[in-house]
Amino acid sequence: MRGEMIEASKIIRNWLKEIVYSFKDERYSNGFIEANNNTITKIVGIVYGYKNFQFFRLRTLVILHKGKNKI
C-alpha cells in the first residue's frame, strides 16, 4: 500500500502542471474517458462469469475500437 502511494505521488508530481491547467482551461473534458468507462462497465455486466480475462480484454478492445458505445 505504501509503495502505491509513493508511486501515485510521483505521477502527480510529474504531471502537476498539466493537472492544474486541466482545471483552468475549459476546453478540456473527460467525456471521452467517461464514455469508455461506461462502455466497459456495461461489458463487465454482460460478460460476468467469463473464465478467461484475455477474452474479456479482447472483447472490450474490439468494442471500444469500433466505437460501438451502445450495448
Write down the pLDDT at residue 14. 94
Summarised one tens digit per residue, pLDDT across range 3-62 is: 889 999 999 999 998 888 877 777 777 788 888 889 888 888 877 777 788 888 888 888
Indicate the helix (H) or strand (E) that contains 22.
Answer: helix 2-24
Write down the pLDDT at residue 13. 94
Write down the pLDDT at residue 9. 92
Residue 35 phi, psi (nearest 5): -65, -40
Q: Which residue has the cell 474490439?
A: 62
- Cβ distance 58 to 43 under 8 Å? no
DSSP state of 51: S
